[in-house]
Amino acid sequence: MQLSQLRAFCAVVSTGSITAAAKVLNRVPSGVTIRIQQLEDDLQCQLFVREKKRLTLSPAGRQLLEYAPQLIEQADKLRSLMRNEQAQGCLTIGAIDLGLIAFMPTLIGRFRERYRGVNMDIRCEPSERLVEQVLDGTLDIALTDGPVQSPSLESDYAFSDQLVLITEKNHPIVTNASELCCQEVYGFRQNCSYRLRLDSWLLKTPQAHLKVVEMESYHTMFSCVSAGVGAAWIPQTVLDGLPGRDSVKVHTLGPSAQSDLYFIWRKGHLTDNAKRILQLHHVG
């Protein structure tokens, strides 16, 4: 099985005829016919039902169509990666702290290994600031909590995590803010998407009257909680990496606590190096 044969197959399916497929592929019709026949011989099955001048997919052809476009796409991505080993220039990328802790290190390491000629500028910012810097061109691409709704931005899903509530070890189970037996909750500044979620959660039970103390470090939040002073929202991935995580009690917050992270960039302005890091992400 060859890629040229799969391309011929997909072209015939999308255009509906050998002649039209030949024009798309810039080949002569006989060449397309030969590739289809070679593919059928290799797979030992009939891919098209030929009725007069019409071609319709056979059951085997429909099955192949489920996989052929993906195989072609992955091959094209791999070829692009291998042909751009000598990439140069700069990649300025930003991420929220969760992205830099839980997701970006491995991806950045793979990028540095493959594209050593590219200078990288990596910045950690709150989600609101990342959006601003992508829009004004300061950042080529950013990883932030999403999805981000803006006609000026494009995005691509990266990964998901869960936000959890942590309290001191012996705290009763918490399902809403009114059940917290403490006087304060720890969170980031108000330009952080996680802080907005925390504020929304607290507003659902205004009788709780909890003070939000701003801290810019999950480690500091964790230390205060484990000392029995307050409570905090924290991503599960971050919590898993903290020493002494068994010294606090973890409360799940339900489906609304899922955090989906996306790569974002200015619409129509995805740089070559930003494309390369996205390709590395997709090929795993």
Write down the domain spans for the chain: 3-82, 86-159+260-283, 161-258
Structure confidence at residue 83 (pLDDT): 64
**pLDDT of amino acid 266:** 95
45: helix, coil or strand? coil
CA dist 197 and 241 (Å) reads: 22
CB 184 within 8 A of CB 167: no
Hey, CA dihedral for 167, 169, 170, 175, is it positive or negative? positive
> How is residue 118 written in tokens?
């590219």
What is the pLDDT, as a whole number, of residue 171? 94
Could you say which architecture CATH assigns to the domain 86-159+260-283? 3-Layer(aba) Sandwich (3.40)
Averaged in consecutive runs of 10 residues, what is the pLDDT profile of the chain (284 residues)?
A: 90 87 86 92 90 83 91 81 71 92 89 89 91 95 88 91 91 89 86 81 76 89 92 89 90 84 94 92 78
- Does this chain's domain 3-82 share its CATH topology with 161-258? no
Residue-level pLDDT at 79: 76
Q: Is 44 helix (H, G, I), strand (E, B) or coil?
A: coil
The CATH code of the domain at 161-258 is: 3.40.190.10
Let me know: does 68 contact 99? Beta carbons within 8 Å.
no
Residue 101 is predicted with a pLDDT of 84
Per-residue model confidence (pLDDT) at position 247 = 93
The CATH architecture that domain 3-82 belongs to is Orthogonal Bundle (1.10)
| pLDDT for res 84 | 57
Classify residue 26 as left (phi > 0), alpha (psi -120 to 50) or beta: left
Cα separation of 269 and 154, whole Å?
9
The pTM (predicted TM-score) of the whole model is 0.61
Question: How far is residue 257's CA from residue 240's CA, in Å, rounded to a whole number?
Answer: 16
